[in-house]
Amino acid sequence: MTSVLSDVVNHQVRLAARPKGMPGPEIWEHTTEPVAEPADGTFVVRISHISLDPAMRGWMNDARSYIPPVELGAVMRAGGVGEVVASAHDRFPVGSFVSGVFGVQEYAVSDGRGVLSIDPDAAPLASYLGTLGMTGFTAYFGLFDIGALKEGETVVVSGAAGAVGNAVGQLAKIKGCRVVGIAGGPEKCAWIVDELGFDAAIDYKSENVGKALRAQAPDGIDVYFDNVGGEILDAALARLARGARVVLCGAISQYNAEGKMVGPANYMSLLVNRARMEGFLVFDFADRYAEATAELVGWMQEGKLSSREHVVKGSVADFPETLLLLFRGENTGKLVLDIT
């Protein structure tokens, strides 16, 4: 067993308090601890890139959800990629690169459960947290399995310049659909149309979304992929075509609300249009990640699918402030903290 851990100090960010509204600096604790040698069946990862995701806001709440909340005093939960630097595990030798839920820290010890081997020569490491990682898988299974996409349909996606949203739009175009993206600001709208090939963009900051949807989807929406919830979800529900599918992926507009979350008022459109609305979790498709990876890599190599990461260089200490970019709508593409 090779080790480079002598006298190595691990810097971490821990959840110290439950946030109310936006997660400010007061809820975090910055700690250090030595890195231990791996026990039999485990290995140590030196983390290079940390994933920042809207779902993190929900993980901070002490509430029942699809995954237990982050405990107070625990290292903040986060996906990451990195290199194995010490190993007592047959499947993950020193020098291999991996992705997994490693937390907001510089080093992590893992027994390999939920960890995927990745190829740093096939794509940049940050891409394995974006289009070739959980966000790409979310778009893939959400659109094709939950959305049951068919060629030639009209697809509308909110949060279209975000990590999942931009992938959803590209995948729908690959399948021959008309794609309308809802995003915030002229720069993001221009990016998804001019570079990603969306058919149209709606700027929710300057346009009436309901009116714009009537113009861009005159025959109705066949698949609406929702990442934001709130008023935009309501506007999309009002424009559903018969037999439409509404894919509930996230509700970032509601995550920092200090009162109750706002639900859809136009839900009766589901009845009138014989439509369905379904939520899903990417973890439910874990046994098919290899399938998704092969397809996504293939489309990238063919030039049909691009991956854009909004990479912020810094240290783990920069995590709290970098996370806020998500909730201020200041990121384009997948938000990643590079701690190399």
pLDDT band at 138 (very low <50, low <70, confident <90, very high): very high
* pLDDT tens track for 320-339: 999 999 989 888 889 999 99
Buried/exposed code over 188-205 (b: 16+ C-beta within 10 A; e: otherwise)? bbebbbeebebbbbbbbe
**How far apart (Å, rounded) are the C-alpha atoms in residues 74 and 227?**
28
pLDDT band at 258 (very low <50, low <70, confident <90, very high): low
* pLDDT tens track for 73-108: 999 999 999 999 999 999 999 999 999 999 999 999
Q: Which of these, 78, 3, 76, lies nearest to 44 by C-alpha position?
A: 3
Decide if pLDDT at 6 tops 90.
no
Give the pLDDT of residue 145: 98
Give the pLDDT of residue 255: 65
Fold topology of 134-283? Rossmann fold (3.40.50)
* pLDDT tens track for 202-240: 999 999 999 999 999 999 999 999 999 999 999 999 999
> pLDDT > 70: what percent of the chain?
97
Lowest mean pLDDT of 39-53, 163-177, 289-303, name the range: 289-303
* pLDDT tens track for 20-67: 989 999 999 999 999 989 999 999 999 999 999 988 998 999 988 888
Give the pLDDT of residue 122: 85
Cα–chain-centroid distance for residue 240? Answer: 25
**How far apart (Å, rounded) are the C-alpha atoms in residues 208 and 280?**
29
Crossing angle, helix 163-174 and helix 134-141, to 10 degrees? 50
Fold topology of 9-130+308-338? Quinone Oxidoreductase; Chain A, domain 1 (3.90.180)
Q: Which of these, 132, 138, 142, lies nearest to 245 by C-alpha position?
A: 142
- In terms of residues, how long is the chain? 340
Give the pLDDT of residue 92: 97
The secondary structure of 168-231 as a DSSP string is HHHHHHHTT-EEEEEESSHHHHHIIIIIT--SEEEETTTS-HHHHHHHH-TT-EEEEEESS-HH
Decide if pLDDT at 3 tops 60.
no
Decide if pLDDT at 177 tops 90.
yes
The secondary structure of 109-158 as a DSSP string is EE-STT-EEE-TTTS-GGGGGTTTSHHHHHHHHIIIIIS---TT-EEEEE
- The answer to whether the beta carbons of residues 226 and 250 sit under 8 Å apart is yes
Of 265 and 255, the structure prediction assigns the larger pLDDT to 265
**How far apart (Å, rounded) are the C-alpha atoms in residues 260 and 94?**
48
Decide if pLDDT at 1 tops 50.
no
Domain ranges in the chain?
9-130+308-338, 134-283
Q: Please state the pTM of the whole predicted model.
A: 0.85
Give the pLDDT of residue 67: 86
Q: Strand 334-338 and strand 309-313: pairing?
A: parallel
Give the pLDDT of residue 2: 44
Average pLDDT, integer, range 4-24: 91
Of 102 and 308, the structure prediction assigns the larger pLDDT to 102
Please give the helix or strand (H or E) that residue 108 lies within, else none: strand 107-110
Residue 34: left if φ>0, alpha if ψ -120 to 50, beta else—which one? beta
- The answer to whether the beta carbons of residues 43 and 109 sit under 8 Å apart is yes
